[in-house]
A and B are shown apart, each in its own frame.
Chain A
Amino acid sequence: MAKYLLLKHYRGAPAAVNDVPMDQWTPEEVTAHVRYMEDFAARLRSTGEYVDSQALTTQGTFVRSDGEGRPPVTDGPFAETKDLIAGWMIIDVDTYDRALELAGELSAAPGAGGVPVQEWLELRPFYAELPTVTE
């Protein structure tokens, strides 16, 4: 089994096929979208492939140390230019192909007009635990 991160971006990914901002959807469309993703997660729970999922707000800020004894420096928010993560799901699946298949399915959640969003999701493998045998 290998763990994969399905990363959803507010911005930074290529444009979705059905690219309508969510604040222009009808409430029913939003509900259908959310239900699709909940059903998706529930199904992965039942197959033993679910690990975790979280949604994030848009309030991202870059922070770094400014040297000892000084408060950290923050950058932005310069909302219009940055890549911004919207949330993630972590899955634990047998193969890379299975991870691809699931990411594809999640990307097809319904959007404006009930038409699949076909948004881009980033798929990233986790580093594995160090196996016992290495030589």
Chain B
Amino acid sequence: MNEALVRELVPAVIGILVRRGAEFAAAEDAVQEALIRALETWPGDPPRDAKGWLVAVAWRKFIDATRAETSRRGREFAVDAEPEAGPVPATDDTLWLYFLCAHPSLSPASAVALTLRAVGGLTTKQIATAYLVPESTMAQRISRAKKRIAGAQLDRPSDPATVLRVLYLVFNEGYSGDVDLAAEAIRLTRQLAAATDEPEVSGLLALMLLHHARRASRTEGGRLIPLAEQDRSRWDTSLVAEGVAILQAALARDRLGEYQAQAAIAALHADAPSTADTDWIQIVEWYDELLALTESPVVRLNRAVAVGEADGPRAGLAALTGLDPDLPRHTAVRAYLLERAGELEQAATLYAEAAHAATTMPERDHLTRESARVRPLPRA
């Protein structure tokens, strides 16, 4: 059986069962049983319509399971209730599953796990490995998430932003274990983009593709390579081209959102032959758009870096005023701008301070090196 095909079909089949009134957990169990049956019979007797076959068998398994404790009559009813064989129309059931898995009642971590399981079709073990927790821990997290949404309303929650945030969380989790979560997030976002007509979904897809295009150059042996030093010849130009095309189509719809604005910034970086040749003025303008949409201090911090490139480090430092100094990376940004302004002593101290506060090891090591570079320590 083709694993990629199954991974694509399972969420759709679960979606159809839930739509027909099965509870989420029961639907998933039924589909698992149908898959076992498929393993046994498909090699000798391949179905004409794999999805239709899975829906029919899973629905029968579901009915069997729900009626098992009632009488024989129930079983007869199950046979009656068996759906007609034949092609199943492609509906937006998968789309609906995305919304269910990103239900607002779930914590972000649970929503991510459930999305990877139900929409992505990953095994619990694969998800556990990717998040570096024991399989039993992840199994509990997923089963609790299922229980939590068991009573959730079947109508789609009105906030697609939650779905997009969950997908972006998956993307940002990086890539440990045998599952590349970034690639998985792109695959799921592609599916979502195909099933929906929403410029922000395209914006997120474009953003992921543009970031993903630069992945190979971003680290070297676990060491962080800053944008200015990245080997731009290693950027994946076909991913960049695809991302830019998707972004342009989305922007043409004239319904700007934060992911489209972020993608626009990423596109300007991807487009530039070097840091110096980057269109920083336009990047600052996009940050202004982004600020108007989100009013986020993190965006303001990033904007200060862009201002520093566009109008000089003093202007960048001025753009930092009023920002909470406890903001993640605030100290690193100040150190960078001070260094460029020639205040080396102060920059070195701040780089070291930023290294102390870093939350990832590559970032800590990078900032420590920056501090050492700016102020070479006397060696005995």
Are B174 and A45 in contact, with the CB atoms below 8 A? no
Contacts of A135 in B (CB 8 A): 226-227, 269
How far, in whole Å, are A129 and B219 apart by their CA atoms in the complex? 13
Contacts of A3 in B (CB 8 A): 132
Interface assignment of B361: CB less than 8 Å from any CB of chain A: yes
Are A130 and B224 in contact, with the CB atoms below 8 A? yes
B359-373 interface code vs A (CB 8 A; 1 in, 0 out) = 111111000000000
Are B137 and A130 in contact, with the CB atoms below 8 A? no
Per a CB cutoff under 8 Å, which of A51, A131, A134 touches B173?
A: A131
Interface assignment of A65: CB less than 8 Å from any CB of chain B: no
CB closest chain-A residue, reference B329: A134
* Given A94-B108, A135-B227: A130 and B174 interface contact (C-beta under 8 Å): yes
Contacts of A49 in B (CB 8 A): 137
Count, chain A residues at interface, CB 8 A? 22
CB closest chain-A residue, reference B226: A135
Are A132 and B107 in contact, with the CB atoms below 8 A? no
How far, in whole Å, are A1 and B107 apart by their CA atoms in the complex? 10
How far, in whole Å, are A125 and B328 apart by their CA atoms in the complex? 15
Q: Give the shortest distance, in Å, between A94 (CB) and chain B (any CB).
A: 5
Which of B58-66, B138-146, B159-167 has 4 or more CB atoms under 8 Å from chain A? B138-146
How far, in whole Å, are A51 and B363 apart by their CA atoms in the complex? 24
Are B137 and A51 in contact, with the CB atoms below 8 A? yes
How far, in whole Å, are A47 and B219 apart by their CA atoms in the complex? 35
Are A52 and B134 in contact, with the CB atoms below 8 A? yes
Contacts of A132 in B (CB 8 A): 171-175, 182, 211-212, 215
Q: Give the shortest distance, in Å, between B221 (CB) and chain A (any CB).
A: 12
Per a CB cutoff under 8 Å, which of A1, A50, A131, A134 touches B131?
A: A1
Interface assignment of B176: CB less than 8 Å from any CB of chain A: yes
B140-156 interface code vs A (CB 8 A; 1 in, 0 out) = 11101000000000000
* Count of A-B residue pairs with CB < 8 Å: 81
Contacts of B281 in A (CB 8 A): none
Contacts of B360 in A (CB 8 A): 127-131
CB closest chain-A residue, reference B223: A130
How far, in whole Å, are A8 and B24 apart by their CA atoms in the complex? 41
Interface assignment of A63: CB less than 8 Å from any CB of chain B: no
Are B211 and A133 in contact, with the CB atoms below 8 A? yes
Interface assignment of A54: CB less than 8 Å from any CB of chain B: no
CB closest chain-B residue, reference A131: B172
Q: Give the shortest distance, in Å, between B167 (CB) and chain A (any CB).
A: 13
How far, in whole Å, are A58 and B122 apart by their CA atoms in the complex? 42
Interface assignment of B193: CB less than 8 Å from any CB of chain A: no
Per a CB cutoff under 8 Å, which of B144, B175, B215, B224 touches A47?
A: B144
Contacts of B132 in A (CB 8 A): 3, 51, 129
Are B176 and A129 in contact, with the CB atoms below 8 A? yes
What's the dominant secondary structure at chain A's contact region? Answer: loop
Are B172 and A46 in contact, with the CB atoms below 8 A? no
Per a CB cutoff under 8 Å, which of B133, B139, B175 touches A92?
A: B133
B219-236 interface code vs A (CB 8 A; 1 in, 0 out) = 100101011000000000
Interface assignment of A48: CB less than 8 Å from any CB of chain B: yes
B window 89-122: CB within 8 A of A: 107-110, 113
CB closest chain-B residue, reference A129: B174
Contacts of B107 in A (CB 8 A): 94
* Given A132-B171, A132-B172, A132-B215: A47 and B140 interface contact (C-beta under 8 Å): yes
Are A51 and B133 in contact, with the CB atoms below 8 A? yes
Contacts of B227 in A (CB 8 A): 135
Are A134 and B218 in contact, with the CB atoms below 8 A? yes
Are A125 and B359 in contact, with the CB atoms below 8 A? yes
How far, in whole Å, are A130 and B360 apart by their CA atoms in the complex? 6
Contacts of A94 in B (CB 8 A): 107-109
Contacts of B219 in A (CB 8 A): 130
A window 53-82: CB within 8 A of B: none
Are A130 and B363 in contact, with the CB atoms below 8 A? yes
Interface assignment of B294: CB less than 8 Å from any CB of chain A: no
Are A128 and B359 in contact, with the CB atoms below 8 A? yes
Are B109 and A45 in contact, with the CB atoms below 8 A? no
B window 297-315: CB within 8 A of A: none
How far, in whole Å, are A130 and B364 apart by their CA atoms in the complex? 11
Q: Give the shortest distance, in Å, between B28 (CB) and chain A (any CB).
A: 17
Contacts of A45 in B (CB 8 A): 136-137, 140
